[in-house]
Structure 1
Amino acid sequence: MIPALFASVFIVLCLYAAVKDVETLTISNGLNAIIAFLFIPAVIITAPGWDVAGAHLLAGLAAFAISVLLFSLGVFGGGDAKMIPGVMLWLGPAAAIPFMTAMAVLGGLLALTVIFARRFVPAHIAPAFARETLLPGNGVPYGVAIAGGAIYAMPFSPLLSYLNF
């Protein structure tokens, strides 16, 4: 019951980050910190073993290093570069490839959608939550792709496989 609660909270936080990213094109440091730090009680309560917990930590550290590099190259925004390692803490190495694949595919579809929407939907008539995203010259709310990839990869994670979709 409690592991499923943690998995549910993880989903809600990812979805909230996606919505806030569409609305403001930012993912706050506080939200990313909550995603990352809630991993600690989740691991303590689920007690998957030191090998699994260590592998999840290493996956998060590797994702952090890669995200910092991609941020410095201008590929990701700061919030995206912080959300990915927090998500990888939860997903672990077993879910890394499904997560990255789904995130990349969803990110590409998202970018195409934003490009077409900016061309055909004037920002001033868009719903209020999407106006910032539809303004020309703004970035793409990649938190949507990160959240979608995380939800897709959950069944591959030993920590998050408690919820079957």
Structure 2
Amino acid sequence: MASFGLLIVFPFFMAYAAASDLLTMLIPNRISLALAAGFCVLAATGLFSLPEIGMHLCAGALVLAVTFTLFALGKIGGGDAKLAAATALWLGFDQLLDYLLVASILGGALTLAILFARTHPLPGAVARLPFALRLHDAKTGIPYGIALAAAALVILPETLIWTRALGG
């Protein structure tokens, strides 16, 4: 039952990351750290063998290395890089490619929607919201954490963590 309780942590922090990125264009470090800590607690429940834990750690490390490089090149935000790595830690290699594919599709759709919205003036009521003004500004990036979090929630029910936590 403890492992099922911990599965609440992942969706909560994914939703929190998406909301934070939407409203502030930032994903606080505490979200990625909480996700990593949650995985460590989950791993300690005995749900996984040591080799499986190692593979999840390798997935997180690989994604961190790639996304940190993209961050250093100015292609993605630091919060996005850390969130993707923390997510990979939970998903492992089994669902990593599916996650990256879904995140790419959702991120592309989000980017196109925001770029399209930026070609039109904001409605009066929306124009008073600071986050809407920030999103509408062409100099502002895209809150890709929304796509990363949504993809993680789409993929989560297909993961080994989810299956084992639910006794499957």
Contact 2:114 2:136 in 1 (8 A): yes
Larger CA deviation: 128-137 vs 140-149:
128-137
2:83 aligns with 83
How many Å apart are 1:54 and its aligned residue?
Answer: 0.7
The one-letter code sitting in structure 2 at the alignment partner of 1:58 is: C
Structure with more relative contact order (C-alpha pairs < 8 Å, separation 6 or more): 1
Identical pairs, percent = 31
2:19 aligns with 19
Question: 1:146 aligned to 2:167?
Answer: no
Number of residue pairs aligned between Structure 1 and Structure 2: 163
The one-letter code sitting in structure 2 at the alignment partner of 1:98 is: D
CA distance in 2, matches of 1:160, 1:70: 30
Matches within 5 A, 1:1-80: 1-80=1-80
How many Å apart are 1:67 and its aligned residue?
Answer: 0.6
With over 3 angstroms needed to count, the CA separation of the structure-2 counterparts of 1:137 and 1:124, relative to structure 1, is farther
With over 3 angstroms needed to count, the CA separation of the structure-2 counterparts of 1:102 and 1:2, relative to structure 1, is same
CA distance in 1, matches of 2:79, 2:97: 21
Task: Say which one has the larger Rg.
Answer: 2
CA distance in 1, matches of 2:24, 2:35: 19
CA distance in 1, matches of 2:123, 2:61: 38
The one-letter code sitting in structure 2 at the alignment partner of 1:107 is: G
Larger CA deviation: 56-65 vs 128-137:
128-137
SS of equivalent residue, structure 1 residue 119: coil
Aligned-CA RMSD value:
1.7
How many Å apart are 1:46 and its aligned residue?
Answer: 4.3
How many Å apart are 1:155 and its aligned residue?
Answer: 2.7
How many Å apart are 1:119 and its aligned residue?
Answer: 1.6
Runs of 4+ in 1 over 6 A off after TM superposition: none
2:137 aligns with 135
CA distance in 1, matches of 2:46, 2:120: 48
Q: TM-score if structure 1 supplies the norm length?
A: 0.91
Q: TM-score if structure 2 supplies the norm length?
A: 0.89
How many Å apart are 1:64 and its aligned residue?
Answer: 0.6
Unaligned 5+ residue runs, structure 1?
none
Larger CA deviation: 152-161 vs 142-151:
152-161
